[in-house]
Structure 1
Amino acid sequence: MREWWLYVALICIPLLAVYLHIPPPQLSPALQKWYNLGERFTFRKHNIFYTDSSGALGSSDVVVLLHGFPTSSYDWIKVWRSLNQRFNRVIALDFLGFGFSDKPRGHEYSVFEQASLVEALLAHLGLKEQRVNLLAHDYGDTVALELLYRSDQNRTGHLTINSLCLSNGGIFPETHYPRLVQTVLKDCSILSPLLTRLANYMVFSRGVGAVFGPHTQPTDAEFWDMWTGLRFNDGNLVLDSVLQIINQRAKHRDRWVGALTSTFVPLHMIYGPLDPINPHPLFIRLYQHLVHRSTVTVLDEHISHYPQLEDPTGFLNAYYRFINSF
């Protein structure tokens, strides 16, 4: 009997400790450097982290980087220096609920709000009248499509988009296959609070590793930086709320896919074909069938869901070919 209670204690005490909240890991030197590079502004009473870097002289081009789920603007670190050599200003932000931005609990996160956040940031930076190039990945793809819809509708106060480059985002609900844990988190209100509190580094790294190619896996240090960014401001506790984007994509498919298929803004897709979430060839065939005005780059067969991290050189070469083509 004593042994039985001992086993229960050995199992339950660590789980209880996790549930009651283990402090987030400390920022690595690399992540601390990114944190120090950034600034903050207030959006609807929330603090938003962003970076605004002045780059190439003699250019007036501005590129705005929109990151994916469940990470942050730090996803662009491997292409940041090169982009600064090409563009006059390179701007990246952490969406509300991500990275170093606020992550309010009980908040109804929406693509519409995130798009308004991007607009507010550019207004804050004095770029309201500037033509901007959007470079997006995953979650950021859908935010970019909302911005595209607003831009093409010529609604006052919205951005003027010079070009849009997407990469590996679930923009078509019919070809999007979220991971099992994502489906449970977005749809199971009973289990979600428990699962978000029980999230740990091991579960996180295995889940994220599954959407990288077998030959392009992050290093342990890179996994830890992703995990640290997620845990900052208790981001694990809002994963279920942020994942409502999946349901929003289905609900507003006509609005966002319609914007993509009807726009005259120059478009490009950079695609890692080993992506299990937006699998090849289903995703790219549908994209090419529907989006006739877009050019497409399919990267090496070993590249998966995070092309800017797995193959930064190939990603940049594809993007620069696109940018230099108009």
Structure 2
Amino acid sequence: MRIRLSCRIALICARFFSSSFCASTLRRRVAVAVLLSLVFARDLRPPPEAIRNETLPPPLSNKMREWWVHVGLICIPLVAVYLHIPPPQLSPSLQKWHNAGEAFHFRGRDIFYRDSYGALGSSDVVILLHGFPTSSFDWNKIWEPLTQRFHRVVALDFLGFGFSDKPRPHRYSIFEQASVVEALVAHLGLSNQRVNLVSHDYGDTVALELLYRSDQNRSGHLIINSLCLSNGGLFPETHYPRLLQTLLKDSSFLAPVLTRLTNYKIFQKGIGDVFGPYTQPTDAEFWDMWTGLRYNDGNLVLDSILQFINQRSKHRERWVGTLTSTIVPLHMIYGPLDPVNPHPEFIRLYQQLVQRSTFTILDEHISHYPQLEDPTGFLNAYFNFIHSF
């Protein structure tokens, strides 16, 4: 009788949670339901007199077994619902960014991009390549100033990121992402136009593959006028991925579990650790990053995308080689508090290997996301670079 009642409660809980419209409300409902289930389960525990009088057969009485069955029947649907929490709704600022963009098809997949026309009298084009695990929205703080300097400002969400499709299972690779950028440039009619690339983190490695194809005069390559990098793990020997990233990229057994268990608090902690203590995102900014990740179940492809770290090691000669040999103007904007590419180890190796490049080291409190932590400093450094050649 009680087990049947537990089943009914579990079914009611599952329906109750699945009707939730936002994650925060869902979390509150889950917490209340867990408390109620524990209170209800308490009534099924054997009475203290029975325990004191040792009338229960060891190790567990039938009532104890019934109690555990009850707890299981309550917890299983709660876990199932937790693993299927609906993605959060877009904030007004993120919705505005989405509405201003479009999509084009790449090998049957939709790729989101923004393309803004800016300064009159200029023919310059800049293409922005975002990092992991975020999206093109990383450039929102410098978007308007860039449109005042460039004729066209273009940014995309790589496959598996932001508002683009996130297929699974899928073998994500830097090579494919470079092909996505080339396809976008062709789609926009810019194949014969010299373009300036600005990249960050993951986007730095995509930019190096594009640079390699350009220097090798590969079919369909971009005509790169300049490249500005920022806080990317260019050198495997000076790159220190976070613990969760290492677990996701190297553990085929744990990865599917970890991607489903990743929640907002874990995400907020991980992202917050790579921002400076005085430049932390606001709650709204954290939530926008999380929303972009959760869109189209992006959290479930993190382990596949993170193979880029292994690809960097495997193809180091190709990508670092083109960085050191290219004649394209190069610049590095660097936040020195970056725990992923730490100072001074990273910048010393960069100076040693990429001697033709100029670089800007921002204030000491700027970390891994310089375009978000210090947009003014980032823009000043970039404009000085653009005006130098």
Q: TM-score range by the shorter chain?
A: over 0.9
- Matched residue SS, 1:86: coil
Structure 1 unaligned segments of length 5 or more: list them: none
- Matched residue SS, 1:284: helix
1:169 matched to which residue of 2? Answer: 232
Q: Which of the pair has the greater relative contact order for Cα pairs under 8 Å at 6+ separation?
A: 1
| AA at the equivalent of 2:237 | E
> What's the CA shift for 1:123?
0.2
2:106 matched to which residue of 1? Answer: 43
> What's the CA shift for 1:199?
1.1
2:161 matched to which residue of 1? Answer: 98
Q: What is the alpha-carbon distance in structure 1 between the residues aligned to residue 133 and residue 245 of structure 2?
A: 10
> What's the CA shift for 1:99?
0.1
Q: 1:232 aligns with which of 295, 319, 322?
A: 295
Contact 1:15–1:198 under 8 Å retained in 2: no
User: Structure 1's 177 and 14: CA in aligned 2 closer, same or farther, altered over 3 A?
Assistant: farther
1:274 matched to which residue of 2? Answer: 337
| Percentage identity across paired residues of the two chains | 76
Q: What is the alpha-carbon distance in structure 2 between the residues aligned to residue 237 and residue 324 of structure 1?
A: 42
Contact 1:184–1:192 under 8 Å retained in 2: yes
Structure 2 residue 180 is the aligned partner of structure 1 residue 117: yes
User: Structure 1's 285 and 12: CA in aligned 2 closer, same or farther, altered over 3 A?
Assistant: farther
1:53 matched to which residue of 2? Answer: 116
Q: 1:83 aligns with which of 146, 151, 158?
A: 146
Q: What is the alpha-carbon distance in structure 2 between the residues aligned to residue 86 and residue 118 of structure 1?
A: 22
| AA at the equivalent of 1:199 | T
1:246 matched to which residue of 2? Answer: 309
1:64 matched to which residue of 2? Answer: 127
> What's the CA shift for 1:154?
1.1
- Matched residue SS, 1:40: strand
1:217 matched to which residue of 2? Answer: 280
Q: 1:320 aligns with which of 371, 380, 383?
A: 383
Structure 2 residue 276 is the aligned partner of structure 1 residue 199: no
Q: What is the alpha-carbon distance in structure 2 between the residues aligned to residue 315 and residue 150 of structure 1?
A: 27
What is the Cα-based RMSD across aligned positions, in Å?
1.3
Q: 2:374 aligns with which of 311, 319, 326?
A: 311
When normalised by structure 1's length, the TM-score is 0.97
- Matched residue SS, 2:158: coil
2:365 matched to which residue of 1? Answer: 302
2:319 matched to which residue of 1? Answer: 256
Aligned pair count reads 325
Q: Deviation per CA, 1:137-187, whole angstroms, max 9, x where unpaired?
A: 000000000000000011222101000000000110000000000000001
Q: What is the alpha-carbon distance in structure 2 between the residues aligned to residue 260 and residue 189 of structure 1?
A: 32
1:29 matched to which residue of 2? Answer: 92
User: Structure 1's 180 and 121: CA in aligned 2 closer, same or farther, altered over 3 A?
Assistant: same
Q: What is the alpha-carbon distance in structure 2 between the residues aligned to residue 140 and residue 15 of structure 1?
A: 36
Contact 1:40–1:48 under 8 Å retained in 2: yes
| AA at the equivalent of 1:197 | R
> What's the CA shift for 1:213?
0.4
Structure 2 residue 345 is the aligned partner of structure 1 residue 286: no
1:184 matched to which residue of 2? Answer: 247
Structure 2 residue 189 is the aligned partner of structure 1 residue 126: yes
